[in-house]
Amino acid sequence: VFDDGPLANDYSSRLELDGTSVTASVLVSDLGPLSLSATVTTGYDLEAERTEKIEAVAGTAVTVNEVSMPAEYRVGLALDLGSDWRLGADGQYTAFGDIGDQVVWPGDLCDEWTVSVGLERRLVRHERGRGYQLPLRFGLQRHRWGHEVNGQPIDETVISVGTGVPFRDWRGAIDLS
């Protein structure tokens, strides 16, 4: 349920989505230093009910539409590089371009995808003393959003660097990036 709240003194809007999707996942982690994963969410339909209230004319309008959601595919891998380092990569693909123009999502839809890669030095507690080797994380992500503006795709690139600080007795951590 998305409730825009009062958008003006006499207007409010509420969107309710109702539907069911199916997701299946697999993780293969017995390949030595390599782990692989995959997830598929099947395409599904949602019923979208928008209620708009206009107080000045004491009126309420209810619009019901069906929204199709495309299948989504995700893959991932993690590779232990020995010592304290590991490499990870993820990919995501959703074929929004296949569902066409819809009443609820007007405009140009296109296929959405994400590719991410990261390198991490794990948190290690030193054998001697009470200190820690703080984790270091380096990441790169490229994302194409599922819609276009003026016929042009929306691409986003994210570069991240981070670390984490553990709580006492390894009971959690605060991550910073």
Give a three-class secondary structure readout of 101-169.
CCCCCCCCECCEEEEEEEEEECCEECCCCCCEECCEEEEEEEEEEEEEECCEEEEEEEEEEEEEEECHH
User: What pLDDT is stored for residue 89 in this prediction?
Assistant: 98
Between the CA atoms of 76, 80, 86 and 90, what dihedral angle is there, to the nearest 10 degrees? -10
Predicted pLDDT at 127 = 64
Identity at 8, one-letter amino acid code: A
Q: What is the pLDDT of residue 90?
A: 97
pLDDT attached to residue 177? 80
What pLDDT score was predicted for residue 105? Answer: 58
Please list the pLDDT of the chain residue by residue as tens digits (177 residues).
555 555 555 677 788 888 899 999 999 998 999 999 999 999 998 888 888 877 766 677 888 888 888 999 999 999 999 888 999 999 999 988 777 666 555 568 889 999 999 999 987 766 665 666 788 999 999 999 988 888 888 999 999 999 887 777 767 778 888
